[in-house]
Amino acid sequence: MKERFLVQGGARLEGVVRVDGAKNSVLKLMAAALLVEGTTTLNNCPEILDVPLMQKVLEGLGCDVEIEGTVVRIHTPAYLSSRADFDAVRQFRASVAVLGPLTARCGEAVVALPGGDAIGSRPLDMHQSGLEKLGATTHIEHGAVVARAGRLHGARINLDFPSVGATENILTAAVLAEGQTVLDNAAREPEIVDLCDMLNSMGARITGAGTSTITIDGVESLHPTEHTVIGDRIVAGTWAYAAAMTRGDVTVVGIAPRHLHLALAKLKNAGADVETYDNGFRVRMDGRPQAVDYQTLPFPGFPTDLQPMAIGLSAVAEGTSVITENVFESRFRFVDEMMRLGADATVDGHHVVLRGVERLSSTEVWSSDIRAGAGLVLAGLVADGETVVHDVEHIDRGYPHFVEDLNNLGAEVRRI
């Protein structure tokens, strides 16, 4: 039976909330465990639906995966299957992260074209091109991407766009390649740095993580490791914008504030008081937020995953905001649901113009992806009456104990 959230409007969020490990990191770290025989241990893993989905993918390849709360142990055998389970892979996008490790370790990978959120097309062209430059052959066959290779070799690779997924698959293939690989225009996201840190602790030789040029000197083999996942900057950013939208006072712990530098700077521009600490930050908004313009870009730009929260804040801000989406072409589907709630919005291509209103009006809305779902819940907090948010399984894929955290901060949200 489908679940939904009932969100009572009028809440002011106040208190402390802890952020768990990053969804956009843990799934790729789990995939990287395929590179080495033995037991890889991951700490600070978020208790979200995508982790057991990746568990199913890895177990289909021959691994034994144990999940105990926030600890995941992956026992990788000497011999792996090279065919990722189609039913599991098609459920979420991050499953494509097994492509690079399988190609490097097994010499072959057959991975179903993945599914996931309805936020636009995300082709695998750069993944395939990168592997081909490392010496693999690739093609699409029967709904799957197929890669085959003997020992991979180093190469100079320049990405057309700093794709996070392509950067990850090239990294995890190149660590076992012969010779040196230089990856130009690489993604710079903190999750890329987290992956490189784990790979280096396994014996890889990677430099330049966090910059646009990453150098990988291939090694013969790797060894198992234990690694702690970085905090989830998107979940942390969601709480930051929730505090500003509800004119609240929320302290977020478990996150490096530098990973949200621009998002927090935008909140300051909107009138919030923002204090940062070594392991978190505090956002306090005493009055109505002021309108601010946003433009999504790869890190260190404003995260596309926080675009729904920027729209939610702009919907109730004083003045007019322009939000520009440069990463995913279908992400503005969220705006239609916000307009159901009374947002004064106009979409023009990859721009949306929002003229802020004092308060939204409650109704029924539907989640189309993880971040849109969370954004709709936040919008419900600043609407009159009770808002019903449907298709909340999307939210559960990215936000552990979301309802519990909201209620601990003073909201009134029920799961039905």
pLDDT by 10-residue block (mean), the chain, 416 residues: 93 97 96 98 95 93 96 97 78 83 96 60 81 96 90 96 95 98 98 98 98 98 98 98 98 97 98 97 97 96 96 98 85 88 94 96 94 97 97 93 97 97
| 2 in a labelled binding site | no
- Which residue spans of the chain are classified as CATH 3.65.10.10? 5-19+231-415, 23-228
Q: Class assignment of domain 23-228?
A: alpha beta
| 24 in a labelled binding site | yes
Task: Please give the C-alpha separations between residue 2 and each of 59, 318, 392, 416, in angstroms, as whole numbers.
Answer: 27, 36, 8, 9
Amino acid identity of residue 316, one-letter, is V
pLDDT at position 330, please?
Answer: 64
pLDDT at position 331, please?
Answer: 67
pLDDT at position 148, please?
Answer: 96
Q: Class assignment of domain 5-19+231-415?
A: alpha beta
| 158 in a labelled binding site | no
Amino acid identity of residue 412, one-letter, is E
What six digits make up the tokens of 107? 């010499």
**Catalytic site residue 249?**
no
Letter string b/e over residues 108-131, b meaning 16 or more CB atoms within 10 A of that residue's CB: ebbbbbbebbebeeeebebbbbbb
| 327 in a labelled binding site | yes
What six digits make up the tokens of 238? 């969601």
What six digits make up the tokens of 17? 């909330």
pLDDT at position 192, please?
Answer: 98
* Nearest C-alpha neighbor of 213 from the set 181, 184, 179, 171: 184
What six digits make up the tokens of 159? 């990405």
d(CA 239, CA 291): 19
pLDDT at position 90, please?
Answer: 67
Among the options 20, 50, 117, 396, which is catalytic?
Answer: 117
pLDDT at position 94, please?
Answer: 73
pLDDT at position 329, please?
Answer: 67
State the pTM of this model. Answer: 0.94
